[in-house]
Structure formats: structure tokens, C-alpha cells
Structure 1
């Protein structure tokens, strides 16, 4: 799979877990960020096909990073992956431009959510 995936999460363990899930599905090109500000910078520099953003990160939270990415590229394919699955966070993420919201650590919906982006 030749799609580039930006994984932004302050937990190295979760970044690796997500990479392993995606690698098993054929994804091989990964960019990693441990904070929201770096994720925005990497998006602007590398223009990945998919962005997986956590909500709780240092330097810039996921919602603000999402807003900056969407402001830079309104067509960005961003999925929020967060343990903070309360309805208000999901609504704010979708209203801010996220294409989907996956509640960690249940990643069963991750691959179907990514596939939907490219149908």
C-alpha cells in the first residue's frame, strides 16, 4: 500500500501498536509525531495521505492540530484516535473536519475507517 500515514500520539507504545495494525494491512510508509505542533509541521512538510491524531498531546492538542491541518488543507483525511470518547469530543472533532473518530484502545474500526476514506 503506497499511502503515507502520519501517526500523532504522545505515547510511543500506541504509535507502535497503530503501526503494527496498519503494517499487517499492507501500509508501509509512516511518519510519527509525539505532539500536536510537530504533527502540523510534518503535515505541511510531507503531505501524508492519512493522519491519525490523538486528542491529548503536548504543545498543541489534537483538536487544535486538526483545525490547523484543515485550515492548511481542507481536503486532509484526518481520523481522531483517542481514549476521550465522550460525545462532545466526537462532535467537536467531526465539526472541526475529522473524517472519523476511533476510541482507543479499540482499534477494530481503524482499518474500515481508513478504507472508507478512499472509496
Structure 2
């Protein structure tokens, strides 16, 4: 008799979201997933850049409108640094979907309709 064990790779997630209610809800949902190793939450580009200089998350969930700048600029910096991280844009700025994907985003999720799809994509 053979025993088969499936190894589930745990992932590290960096959430960059300045809206407290959205961040709290999303963080709670992410931490409910069994494949999450860690979750960091930053509320600005400045704090996100510090976090990224210290850590290499598997997945970055990035809002586009942040208090200290534009998430697309941060996306370009992440891709230019050749980080292995996948970047998921989570924004209400659906008109910027094509720009984000051309700039290197791996996925784009609309906050008004795709929050459950985002959670499922992390599994």
C-alpha cells in the first residue's frame, strides 16, 4: 500500500490598500485560507517599498489609488526590480485594466464585482 501525500505550498501575501474597511475585510478573508503562510498589510507606497526591500512576497495585492501616489508607478517599480512576485491589482479604476496588464500586472480585479474571485485565485 502506498501513501500519497500532497504538499500544499504556503504563500506569503502583501496587501497594499489604504481603505481600512476594505483592508480589514480582505485581510480576514485571506487569513482564512489554508495555504497562506503570512500576510502583510501596508497603507502607502512608501511603506510598501520598505516592506518589499525586506521581504519577497509571492503575491502582491495592489490598490491603484494610494495616499502618496499611483499604484501603477509602484507596479512598474516592482516589475523593473524583477521581483518574482505576482501582482494582482484590486481597484475600482476598471478603466485602467489594460494599462495595468500592459505594465506587468498578472491579474486585475474590480473591487465592486471581483472580490470573491480574488479570494478564490489565492487558493
Unaligned runs of 5+ in 2: 1-8
- The Cα offsets for residues 37-73 of structure 1, whole Å up to 9 and x where unpaired, read as 2212211211111100000002221101111111112
Aligned partners of 1:100 and 1:113 also within 8 Å: no
Which of the two has higher C-alpha Rg? 2
1:45 paired residue number: 54
TM-score by length of 2: 0.82
1:99 aligned to 102, 106, 122, which one? 106
TM-score by length of 1: 0.85
The alpha-carbon deviation at position 34 of structure 1 amounts to 0.5
Q: Does 2:30 align with 1:22?
A: yes
Distance in 2 (CA, whole Å) between partners of 1:66 and 1:51 is 10
Q: Does 2:85 align with 1:109?
A: no
Aligned partners of 2:92 and 2:111 also within 8 Å: yes
Distance in 2 (CA, whole Å) between partners of 1:92 and 1:114 is 23
Residues 44-83 of structure 1 mapped to structure 2, 5 A cutoff: 44-83=53-92
2:16 paired residue number: 8
Distance in 1 (CA, whole Å) between partners of 2:104 and 2:20 is 25
**Bigger share in strand:** 2
**Bigger share in helix:** 1
